[in-house]
Amino acid sequence: MTWLVRLAAMGLLAVSLDAAAQSADDRELLQFRLTPELLTKAEAVATAFGANAERDPAMKRKLDTKREIARLEDKDDLTEAEQKRLEDLQAAAGDDVDLGINGGSLSDISAQLQKVPAMNAALKSAGMAPRDMAKFIVTAVQAAMIGGLQKQGLPVPPGAAGENVKFVLANQASIERINKLLGAR
């Protein structure tokens, strides 16, 4: 399971719980609103992270592998050799670029982001607090998932959650760019 899906699962569970049973993190996420300013900072973090990752030989190899996988998956018809290459690359690649995020509280996720040198440097260069990036990631993924469910008939959630869904849908290209730069698929 990718790190974004693990984060989203954590957030979606928070939305479904009774407010009295929610943790402080859950309540913080439910009140968190995505804004153009946060999107700009997250894009700056993702851009800096991508550049930092390209300079790290191990991360660059992983990113190159992911790019080749994406290129092969985008083809309509694969030759037998291409299909074999795709399978080999997928087996070697494992999960997406590892940002060290394994879920937990927002404090845990923030600390995990800071432990990855390329991400820590990106956060500092963009002037974004690790906790804000953690909240941005969790909230944006949740909103994107809810937006996808809305297309299948799910009603718009009230309050901040509904506003976040609308924000993500309106800024889908930017969100996808951030995901790509962070190594998410």
Per residue in 51-83, pLDDT tens?
988 888 887 888 788 888 888 998 889 999 999
Please report, for residues 3, 33, 112, 132, 157, the alpha-carbon distance to residue 38 in angstroms, rounded to integers and kept in the order given: 20, 9, 20, 8, 21
The answer to whether the beta carbons of residues 82 and 72 sit under 8 Å apart is: yes
Query: Cα 149 to the chain's mean position, in Å?
Result: 18
pLDDT digit string (tens) for the chain, length 185 residues: 344 444 444 445 444 444 555 688 888 888 899 999 999 999 999 999 989 888 888 878 887 888 888 889 988 899 999 999 999 888 887 655 455 555 678 888 898 899 888 899 999 999 999 999 999 998 998 898 888 888 888 787 777 788 999 999 999 999 999 988 886 64
Are 42 and 169 spatial neighbours (Cβ–Cβ below 8 Å)? Answer: no
| Cβ neighbours of residue 100 closer than 8 Å, sequence gap 6 or more | 112, 113, 115, 116
Q: Do residues 4 and 138 touch, judged by C-beta distance below 8 A? A: no
What is d(CA 114, CA 119) in angstroms, rounded to the nearest whole number? Answer: 7
